[in-house]
A and B are shown apart, each in its own frame.
Chain A
Amino acid sequence: MAIQVRERIRVEKKTAALAACAVSKAFRPTRVVPGGGMTVRAVDAVSLSVWRGEIYGLLGANGSGKSTLIRLFSTLLTPDEGTVSIFGLDIDRDELAVKRLINRVSVEASFFKKLSAMENLVYAGRLYGVPPDESRSKVVSILRRLGIEDARMKEPLEKLSRGMQQKVAIARAFLTTPMLLLLDEPTTGLDIRSKREVQTFVRDLRDEHDATILLTTHDLDEAARLADRIGILHHGRLVAEGTPEELAVQHGGGTLEDVFMTLTGRRLDDADATDAERPT
């Protein structure tokens, strides 16, 4: 089914790569704790569409529901309410076909740390039906482009820096040529240079490979630099959506920081500090 969808998308111009309709997700406590253990509504009736070939930035403070939303879109969570479709396929009914079209990079680069980048990526490729020989040549090419030397590709990942591990995580997602790439704060914790390299790669990925990208970030500069459209998430709700220019016009002008402050009542840095404890 995923192959048919890829074929259909090739001929269609304006396609919703991702369509979420009134999606909600709440987490309930597993046990009753005196004075605590309240149900947390992490995502609250969010509706959004990401068009094919678009980079959509989801901006929000820590605990605003960004990661929960990404986990819902990547089939790791099931919504309590609402529907999500990827290129017209329902993520619940057509789960396996959806999985063939997407990939995700999380804020933590999760790998078998004793295995090398090459071993991890060849394994990941196998899971997506990419033959090992094809994977190996693609891995070398992608990692070189991300600035990782050949010799380091065979070292255990635990010996690579956090920035390098994150680049390998991006390479893992790219290796499977996803139609929709879900990036959950891919540059958090990276130094400026690594951050710029990753941002350039993300943009190139869209331009050269017709990928659609949903990017979550709490970095205003990154959102403005990469995203064609931006959605602002606050306490699990999508409170605004548009291009950076549209957002500025609709919410009193100024910078993206000003727009965020107008909508949430706080600066993004302050909101991060205050909301850090809110589970998602």
Chain B
Amino acid sequence: MIANAGAQLGLAYAFVEREIALSKRYWAWEIVWLVYGIVTSLSVAYIGLAAPTIAGGSSDPAVVSRLVLYLLVGTITWRFLGLIFEQMAETIAWERWEGTIEYTFMAPVPRVTHLLGMCGATLVRALGFSVAILAAVALFVPVDLSHANVLAAIVLLLVGAVAFVGLAIASAVFPLLWTEKGLQMAYIVQAVVLLVSGVYYPTTILPGWMQILSFISPATYVIRGMRDALLDGADLAAVWPNLWPALLVGAISIPLGMRVFLWAERHAKRTGRLKRSG
């Protein structure tokens, strides 16, 4: 059993190694996405810094500092979760475009191992990007983390990653089934999640029907909990009300996402959609 687990890990690592090799070859594009991430996060931070000027009044520097951190926690956490979400779908679309999708699905790799390998590669990339963006932003904008509870924040981020993996696997079904428009569909789902999850504002300001969507988005709980931990120093016990819903979504969405993906693969094989496009 241990030998089999080791073999499966070896198989899953193939996807991580492949993504690292591809990132090296596409280094210029990686820099583009990194610069884009840094600039977007910095712009959001500057909106916070300029808030008193925009509003036409003066504000307590402590309030402004809190607003900047509030926005930064949202934008960087979303960057991390968003990368997990989009890369799964993009990888399927890319494999279809390169024509390698047939070889990946023909290989003697259990689908669960394949998907976990893809998730591993995605997590490595998302973590690298988020740390680099945070470090770059800290060079330009004063970030006050003196009250932060880093342990609680890390736990929330890990739980959030797990919760998003399930959604990401389910969203990868779009490019698997819809050759031409699948990736666009996945991006639309991602955009809606961004809107309703309180990335830049509290979800309480949203219209009632959007708040229902925010209730089922794991990002809502992760971002809210991250703010509690990093702005107010909330410990694990204090962030538990945001931790357990994210855990619950992860526990439901991963097996559900896998099941949906397996169904989609069977459907693609029945209808002849598992082939090169582009």
Contacts and interface: CB of A to CB of B under 8 A. Distances in A.
Contacts of A27: 271-272
B158 interface: no
Contact of A76 (B13, B98, B105): B105
Interface string A101-119: 0111010101111110001
Interface in A66-89: 68, 71, 74-78
A114 B22 contact: yes
A253 interface: no
Please tell me the size bucket of the interface on A.
Answer: 35 or more
Chain B contact residues, majority secondary structure: helix
B98 A112 contact: yes
A113 B14 CA distance: 17
Interface in A143-183: 156, 172
B21 to A, nearest CB: 5
Contacts of A96: 108, 110
B22 A75 contact: no
A126 interface: yes
Given A119-B21, A123-B14, A129-B11, A111 B106 contact: no
Contact of A113 (B98, B108, B109): B98
A100 interface: yes
A77 B269 contact: yes
A124 interface: yes
Interface residues of B, number: 31
Contacts of B102: 71, 74, 76, 104, 106, 110
A251 interface: no
A71 B103 CA distance: 11
A115 B25 contact: yes
B98 A111 contact: yes
Given A112-B18, A113-B98, A115-B25, A100 B103 contact: no
A128 B110 CA distance: 11
B11 A127 contact: yes
Nearest to A110: B99
Interface string B84-107: 000000000000001110111111
A2 interface: yes
A22 B149 CA distance: 66
A115 B21 contact: yes
A203 interface: no
Contacts of B105: 75-76
B26 A114 contact: yes
Interface of A: 2, 27-28, 30, 68, 71, 74-78, 96-97, 99-100, 102-104, 106, 108, 110-115, 119, 123-124, 126-129, 156, 172
Given A78-B270, A126-B14, A127-B104, 19 more contacts: A2-B108, A27-B272, A75-B105, A75-B269, A76-B102, A76-B106, A77-B269, A77-B270, A96-B110, A104-B103, A110-B102, A110-B276, A114-B22, A114-B26, A124-B107, A126-B10, A127-B14, A129-B11, A129-B108
18 contacts: A30-B271, A68-B272, A71-B275, A76-B105, A77-B270, A77-B272, A78-B270, A102-B106, A104-B103, A106-B102, A110-B98, A112-B18, A115-B21, A115-B25, A119-B21, A127-B109, A129-B10, A129-B108
